[in-house]
Amino acid sequence: MQKDSKIYIAGHRGLVGSAIVNNLKSKGYSNLVYRTSSELDLRDPQAVAGFFEAEKPEYVILAAAKVGGIVANNTYRADFIYENLMIQNNVIHQAYMAGVQKLLFLGSTCIYPKACPHPMKEEYLLTDVLEYTNEPYAIAKIAGIKMCESYNLQYGTNFISVMPTNLYGPNDNFDLEKSHVLPALIRKMHLGKALEQNNWDSLRADLNKLPIEGVDGNEAEDAILSVLGNYGIRSSAPLGGNQEGDSVHVEIWGTGKPMREFLWSEDMADACVFIMENRDFNDVTPSTVDGERPEVRNTHINIGTGEDISIYDLAHLVKKTVGFNGEIYFNEEKPDGTMKKLTDVSKLKALGWEYTVALEKGVEKIYNWYL
C-alpha cells in the first residue's frame, strides 16, 4: 500500500475498525474512506454496489459486523447469521467487481469446534461441531473465510482472512445487554464500586452516558437499583442506606472456570495493517507441486497472544484494577460457553508479528479509557 492509496475501512467506528483507522493515520496513510451505517447500509446489495462504483477503493478492510456476547448471540440467532452474511457477501463481491487490490476480512476464533484441541490451529476448522450459543455467527464467519478463498482461487483476487481472539480496547461496547465479558466486567465492577461507596453521582453519570434497558441517571433510586439487580449488581443495604463498606456483590455467569485469551485492540489493528502492508494470499497457501497446487484450505490467520486466563482470575484482576471491594458471585446455573479458547499463533509469528500489550496493562488502560 502507498501512503496515498485509497483504503476503505468498513466498520470504522467499532472496536477494531477505529483502532485500524488510528493505526493507519499514525503511519501516514492519508486517503481513508469510511461511511457510518446510516450513510451506507452494508446489508443492502445495491447501496454497496453504488458505493464501490463511486469511490473505487484500492484496498478494503472489512471490520464491520454484528457482534455481541453469549446472551446476544444466543438470543438474536437469526439476526446474527443474516446480517453478517449480507455484510460479507456484499462487500467481498463488490471488492472483486471493483478490482480491489487487497481485502482483509476479519472474523473470530469462535469459528473453531466446541471440542477443539488447544491451542487452536488453523487446520482445526470444520473438524467438529460448533459451540451452540454462537453457532449462527460462527457459520457466517466461516462462510466469509471460504468466500475469500473461493474468489482468490477462481478470480485471482488477493483476499486475506484473519481470526482475532477476544478483543478489548478503546470504543469497546459496554452495553450490559450486549457486551463481551471483559467490558461487561469492567462496567459491573465500576457500578458495584459506586454502589458500595454510596456514590450516586457516579452511578447517575454512568447511566446518563449509557442507559441500561432505558433506565438513565434521572430515574429514582429504586428504579436504578432494580435494573442494576437485573445484571447481578446488588447491595444488601436498605434503599438509600448504602454506606461505604456495605455488602455489595457482582454476579457473573458460569463457574469462572472457562479459559479465555484477550488481545488489546490496538495490537490487533497493528497486526492487520502489518498483514495489509507485507503479506499476500500466496503467503498462506501451499506451494505448487509439479505445477499443480494442492487443495487450498485453512488460509486464515489466527491473531492473538497465545496466552489465556480463567474467567475467575480475570474477574479478580478487574476487581483489583477498578478498586471494587465487594464480593464476586459466580452463578453456576448459567452457561459457561466453551470451556477453553486459546489460539495457536505460530503462523502469525512466522509471518513476522507478535503482540505487545500484556493483559494486566491492558485492563488498566481500558478502565482508564472507560473513566
CATH code, domain with 125:
3.40.50.720
From the candidates 29, 34, 112, 137, which is the catalytic residue? 137
Tell me, yes or no, if 137 is annotated catalytic. Answer: yes
Q: Is 215 inside a domain boundary?
A: no
- Closest to 121 measured CA to CA, from 129, 112, 130: 112
Q: Which of 77-86, 184-193, 309-318, 332-341 has the lowest mean pLDDT?
A: 332-341
Q: What is the pTM of this model?
A: 0.88
Is residue 53, in this structure, part of any structural domain at all? yes
| Residue 365 within any structural domain of the chain | no
Question: Mean of the per-residue pLDDT values for the chain?
Answer: 93
Domain that holds residue 15: 7-172+260-306+340-357
Nearest to 95 by CA among 148, 138, 38: 148
Q: Is the pLDDT of residue 208 over 50?
A: yes
Contact between residue 200 and residue 144 where contact means Cβ atoms under 8 Å apart: no
Tell whether 204 is covered by a domain: no
In a domain, 164, yes or no: yes
- 185 within a domain of the structure (yes/no): no
**Number of domains forming the structure of the chain:** 1
Helix locations, 7-69, DSSP H = 15-26, 45-55
Instruction: Identify whether 222 is part of a domain.
Output: no
Structure confidence by residue, pLDDT tens digits, 155-182: 999 999 999 999 999 989 899 987 889 9
Quickly tell me which residue has 446489508 as its cell: 43
Across 78-87, 98-107, 168-177, least confident range: 168-177
Indicate whether 274 belongs to any domain: yes
